[in-house]
Amino acid sequence: MRTRILTVLALVGGALGVALLRVGPSAAQVRPPTTVPGGPAEVEAGHQLYAIACTTCHGTEGEGVEDRGPSLVGVGAASADFYLSTGRMPLDRPRTQAERKRVAYSPVQIRQLVAFVASLGPGPVIPRVTGAAGDLAEGNRLYANNCAPCHSSAGAGGALGHAVYAPPLNRATPVQVAEAVRIGPGAMPVFGPDTLDDEQVASVVRYVSYLRKPDDRGGFGLGHLGPIPEGFVAWIVGLGAMLMAVRWIGTKD
Amino acid sequence: MGKRLFRWVDERLGTSHFARKAFDKIFPDHWSFMVGEIAMYCLVILIVTGVYLTFFFVPASGEVIYHGSYKALQGARMSAAYASSLDLSFEVRAGLVMRQMHHWAALVFLAAIVVHLCRVFFTGAFRRPREVNWIIGVTLLVMSMMNGFFGYSLLDDLLSGTGVRVGYSIALSIPVAGEWLAFLFFGGEFPNTEFITRFFVLHVLLLPALIVGLLGAHLAILWRQKHTQFKGRGRTEDNIEGSRLWPSYAAKSVGLFFIVTAVIAALGGLAQINPVWLYGPYDPAQASAATAGSQPDWYVGWLDGALRVMPGWEIRAFGHTIANPFFPGAVLPGLTFGVLYLWPFLERRFTKDRDPHNLLDRPRDAPVRTALGAATLSFYTILFIAGGNDVLSSVFRVAPESITNLFRVLIFVVPVLVFLVTRSACRSLARDHVHPFGGTVGSRVRRTPAGGYEAVDDDDPPPAEATRADLVAEAYRRPAPPAP
Amino acid sequence: MPAERRIAVLLLASTLAALGLAGVYIAGGQPQAEGALLGVALAGIGFALILWARGLSSEGAVVAERGPLGGTVEDEEAVEERVEEVTEEPGRRSVLRLFWAAGGALALSAVFPIRSLGPAPGNALLRTAWRPGSRLMDTDGRLVRVDTLQVGGTLTAFPQGAEKAGDSSVILIRLEEGQLQPRPGRESWSPRGYVAYSKICPHVGCPVGLYQADTHELLCPCHQSTFDVLDGARPNFGPATRSLPQLPLAVDPQGFLIAQDDFDEPVGPGFWNRD
């Protein structure tokens, strides 16, 4: 009996400790901007890397291969950096949704590949953003109007049709968020400068950075998946604990 | 001092006569009789925390500009209702814990009502003479569900605003009178500025008053009719066995109240529920934003699931439309609660059993009823899970279309399977007299006064010194009566 | 440990937690500490009460008779007799009938104030705030120009001057010119690849805000209906039964996007008198 009460106390105390520990700095990680693709040497190095891993789907000079991969001419440094730095490229199986995975290249190699792709034709450059600039509340409003429908209010992601998913945003860096806004990777629509100007993108980025560690003032956030996990907790933890208590009350000593 | 006060009251009200009878009131010892008490104590928590919240909540949809301490909404336009919810959560000391306790208590309240209803259903406790209390109980369930919906709609966040709009659209879909019903109930075309004030009055005054009143009637009838009890040695239709209210049962029950409140308090402080600041305000003028993962609270989840699995059909004829949401949104709950209300009378029609019953069935004693109940539960469970098809889809990486199509099949297949399996399980359990949670097969041996041993027949009177535990264990070995 | 000791420990823990709770409140409050301490304070008392209750009574199970529920036959007859004293006499019966009529009429008249709760539906559900020449405005209050969106871009728009109209939001998408297969009669509704559909789902009215650019589909986040943007927003899947109404667009001489007219059908969920 005593052990059971102690266990309950320990659980409550532990949860309290965890909740307290989670009060940490919430400012987003600032990453040095990698805006300008390098000179001819980098382009050449990138071309060599490209020849090894990318030609099957994107063609020898980035012209694309029918039914395998799109042309890379004019996709710009932003696209290349987004896909490579999130590990989405290289893709294991063509024509599936590219998902975030372990990054295959070193930062230097990524810069070289980005330089090569950027040299194929003019396209969006890598935006200069950090998680700290921009206006948080403005970012919240823009996020609600433009991003939350697919990525959910809390940035947890969500399902679209045909087994396509809006990814959770908790691992996206500020630069990657800005890149995605501008290039519209995969199923995502493009948000050009006339829809969201650079300042607004910075605000969105700031809010997305905030969502990586939102104000969970109420305690454990339950994955920010809304009423469904809440329902399970109510049944299993809440009513479950009470039913155990009732069974215990119903027993004799 | 206490004695003098008691005398003073008694001389004026005659309390001692009632108290003397009440102290001897007998409560069955089986744990399942306390599930209803869990629900009742959740209601107490809901009222206490709810009253506290009303001191701070502003039930108005007028637009304000937020200047509270939550940075991510600084300067945002929102309704006064939503702004006051934020202030409750950030500015009012202990306000967030109260708000979260209120919400957790609501979720657990309804869960406890459902389990209590299952207990009553599966043991046949609704039979004569308790039909009226069954009807009151179902009404309490309906009202509590509605009140929960009104309650979370009040906060006027993005998620709840979406839910209100779904409710409005269901009202709109009702044939002939739908437009008028929707306009009168919501105060005009949605979105509008009326509904928060209306929902507030319903949520804090009308429905709570009805719920408390009906609960009073529920308990008064219980008091008059006395509890049911499980079959067992010495228990008959004409007696009741258990513990007296005073002192031990009263102390245990009050102890349960404290434990229930403790669980709700711990959840309210440690597990975040409905973080409205992350959802953002609902903009009634624009109604433009939505969020992925839009779900209602669990007790409405089955209705949302039904809306999701319903194929895209509707009836258009003679210049009129019976819109799609009418079937899952209005017909299904109508049928659900209609059948629940009528169940005691429906069952009587089929079993021809008109006798009063104070002794309960074990679920296996009524295989068809038990199987029907289990199948029904499986039906609503599947609907509830279907209400999370988008969450399932992104967690398990299956297209939502496939999941929805799967549920469209499961919703018919699983209840049938559950019915067949449950019925045959009940029948075989009833044959073998084995309690599913333990208990032994075989006969009991008793030492005779002469020093020998003899097998105990089921019809033997129990030995005088037998403890109650022995009696209960023995009761489980008694042959079940034939199924109705 | 004997029961008394256990009870004492529990109550002590409860007392300390309650004092701690007061302390946390005075210090400014912290939700997690408040919930946990309140939980411990209550649980301590609860468990202590139950342990204590077990020692209070050793009588075991008690059996009592239920007694009859219904009254005796004499009771019933006596009540019936007293009621009939009033209702059986012919003169009183006609008066009673008048009481019923008056009460019924009063109840009927009490129903009428319900009408004050809301306006008549009228044609509110059939029209929106779009008028011929209404300019499109985005959520920031900027007017939409013909070059506002890139191909593949999307935004939510309202009629200028009617930003408070909840039934008028549209989702504006820019497609490549020629991508759209316009329905007969709608050939001139989508200048420069711009196409605008009502954002209110015809199922239960959620905002159809999810645009999947690669398959040109709009999705509703509430019940997963999908709509084919290239084919007049016809529903592909889910419970929605009708296409999203399309707003006829045009470009005015200043280069702003405008509506040619209101939608040609009611927006939003279905209802009895829709068609």
Arithmetic mean of pLDDT, B68-72: 94
Sequence-ordered list of residues with C-beta below 8 angstroms from that of B112, at least 6 positions apart, any chain: A239, A242, B35, B36, B38, B39, B42
CA torsion angle for B158, B161, B163, B167 (degrees, to 10)?
-170
Ramachandran sector of residue B124 (left: φ over 0; alpha: ψ -120 to 50; beta: rest) = left
* CATH 2.102.10.10 placement within chain C: 136-259
| Residue C45 or residue B319, greater confidence | C45
Residue B127 contacts C where some CB pair is shorter than 8 Å? no
| A28 within 8 A of A174, measured Cβ to Cβ | yes
Q: Tell me, what's the pLDDT at B328? A: 95
- Residue among B272, B281, B251 at smallest CA distance from B84: B281
Residues of C with Cβ-Cβ distance to B265 under 8 angstroms? 35, 38-39, 42
> Which of A16, A20, A199 is most worth mutating to test chain C (most C CB atoms within 10 A of its CB)?
A16
> Which of B27, B88, B273 is most worth mutating to test chain A (most A CB atoms within 10 A of its CB)?
B273
- Residue among B435, B436, B430, B432 at smallest CA distance from B484: B430
Contact between C64 and B404 using a beta-carbon 8 Å cutoff? no
Residues of B with Cβ-Cβ distance to C165 under 8 angstroms? 285
Q: What CATH topology corresponds to C136-259? A: Rieske Iron-sulfur Protein (2.102.10)
For A97, nearest residue in chain C (alpha carbons):
C214
Instruction: Give me the number of domains chain B comprises.
Output: 1
The model's confidence at residue B475, banded by pLDDT at 50, 70 and 90, is: low
* Chain centroid, CA A213 distance in Å: 13
Whether the pLDDT of residue B440 is over 60: the answer is: no
Least confident of A184-188, A190-194, B280-284, B460-464: B460-464
Contact between B280 and A148 using a beta-carbon 8 Å cutoff? yes
Contact between A228 and B298 using a beta-carbon 8 Å cutoff? yes
Q: Tell me, what's the pLDDT at A252? A: 56
Q: Tell me, what's the pLDDT at B181? A: 94
Residues of B with Cβ-Cβ distance to C43 under 8 angstroms? 258-259, 262-263, 266
Q: Tell me, what's the pLDDT at C116? A: 93
Residue A95 has which token pair? 């024509």
For C239, nearest residue in chain B (alpha carbons):
B312
Considering only the beta carbons, identify the residue of A1, A15, A161 that sits closest to C217.
Answer: A161
- Residue among C195, C198, C202 at smallest CA distance from C242: C202
Q: Tell me, what's the pLDDT at C14? A: 97
Indicate the domain borders of chain A.
32-126, 128-215, 222-253
Q: Tell me, what's the pLDDT at C70? A: 84
Distance CA B436, CA B445 (A): 23
Low-confidence ranges of chain C (pLDDT < 50): none
- Answer yes or no: is the ipTM higher than 0.90: yes
Residues of A with Cβ-Cβ distance to B297 under 8 angstroms? 227, 230-231
Residues of A with Cβ-Cβ distance to B296 under 8 angstroms? 227
Contact between B292 and A222 using a beta-carbon 8 Å cutoff? no
Q: Do domains A32-126 and A128-215 have the same CATH topology?
A: yes
Q: Please name the chains neighbouring B, where neighbouring means 3+ C-beta pairs under 8 angstroms.
A: A, C
Whether the pLDDT of residue B287 is over 60: the answer is: no
Q: What are the residues facing C173 on neighbouring strands?
A: C154, C195
Contact between A234 and B292 using a beta-carbon 8 Å cutoff? no
Residue B224 contacts C where some CB pair is shorter than 8 Å? yes
Residue A124 has which token pair? 């969006």
Looking at residue B242, which CATH number applies to its domain?
1.20.810.10
Residue-by-residue pLDDT tens, chain A, 253 positions: 445 554 554 554 454 444 444 333 333 333 333 444 567 888 899 999 999 888 888 988 888 888 888 899 889 899 999 999 999 988 877 777 888 889 989 999 999 999 999 988 888 889 988 878 899 999 998 998 888 888 988 898 888 877 788 899 999 999 999 999 999 888 888 888 878 889 999 999 999 999 999 999 999 998 888 898 999 999 999 999 999 999 998 775 4
| C169 within 8 A of B287, measured Cβ to Cβ | yes
Q: Tell me, what's the pLDDT at B173? A: 94
CB atoms within 10 A of CB A34: 17
Q: What are the residues facing B455 on neighbouring strands?
A: B445
Contact between B108 and A210 using a beta-carbon 8 Å cutoff? no
* Chain centroid, CA B333 distance in Å: 15
Considering only the beta carbons, identify the residue of C49, C200, C238 that sits closest to B255.
Answer: C49
Q: Tell me, what's the pLDDT at B473? A: 57
Considering only the beta carbons, identify the residue of B260, B288, B294 that sits closest to A145.
Answer: B288
What type of residue is B117? L
Residue C43 contacts A where some CB pair is shorter than 8 Å? yes
Contact between C209 and B289 using a beta-carbon 8 Å cutoff? yes
| A213 within 8 A of A24, measured Cβ to Cβ | yes
Distance CA B459, CA B443 (A): 12
Ramachandran sector of residue C157 (left: φ over 0; alpha: ψ -120 to 50; beta: rest) = beta
Contact between C271 and B178 using a beta-carbon 8 Å cutoff? yes
Residue C151 contacts A where some CB pair is shorter than 8 Å? yes
Considering only the beta carbons, identify the residue of C38, C61, C166 that sits closest to B287.
Answer: C166
Residue A175 has which token pair? 């630069």
How would you label B311-328 residue by residue, b for 16+ Cβ within 10 Å and e otherwise? ebebeeeeeebbbbbbbb
Place of tokens 């049962």: B249
DSSP symbols for B420-447:
HHHHHHHHHHHHHT--TTS---S-EEEE
For C6, nearest residue in chain A (alpha carbons):
A2
Considering only the beta carbons, identify the residue of C69, C121, C235 that sits closest to B312.
Answer: C235
Q: Tell me, what's the pLDDT at B471? A: 54
Contact between C118 and B184 using a beta-carbon 8 Å cutoff? yes
Contact between A220 and B270 using a beta-carbon 8 Å cutoff? yes
pLDDT tens-digit series, residues B147-192? 999 999 999 998 888 889 999 999 999 999 999 999 999 998 888 8
Distance CA A206, CA B71 (A): 12
Question: CATH top-level class for A128-215?
Answer: mainly alpha
**Architecture category of domain A32-126 in CATH:** Orthogonal Bundle (1.10)
- Residue among B380, B402, B378 at smallest CA distance from B392: B402
Determine if the peptide bond prior to B247 is cis (ω within 30°): yes
Of all residues in chain B, the percent with pLDDT exceeding 90 is 70
Considering only the beta carbons, identify the residue of A145, A154, A156 that sits closest to B289.
Answer: A145
Distance CA B80, CA B56 (A): 11
Q: Tell me, what's the pLDDT at A35? A: 43
Min Cα distance C95 → chain B (Å) is 33
Distance CA B247, CA B152 (A): 40
Boundaries of domain holding B204: 25-290
User: How far is residue A5 from each of residues B140, B261, B268, B387, measured CA to CA in Å?
Assistant: 34, 16, 20, 37
Q: Tell me, what's the pLDDT at C139? A: 81
pLDDT tens-digit series, residues B206-249? 999 999 999 999 999 999 999 999 988 889 999 999 888 988 88
pLDDT tens-digit series, residues B102-152? 999 999 999 999 999 999 999 999 999 999 999 999 999 999 999 999 999
Sequence-ordered list of residues with C-beta below 8 angstroms from that of A133, at least 6 positions apart, any chain: A202, A205, A206
Considering only the beta carbons, identify the residue of A12, A158, A159 that sits closest to C36.
Answer: A12
Sequence-ordered list of residues with C-beta below 8 angstroms from that of C72, at least 6 positions apart, any chain: none
Q: Tell me, what's the pLDDT at B472? A: 57
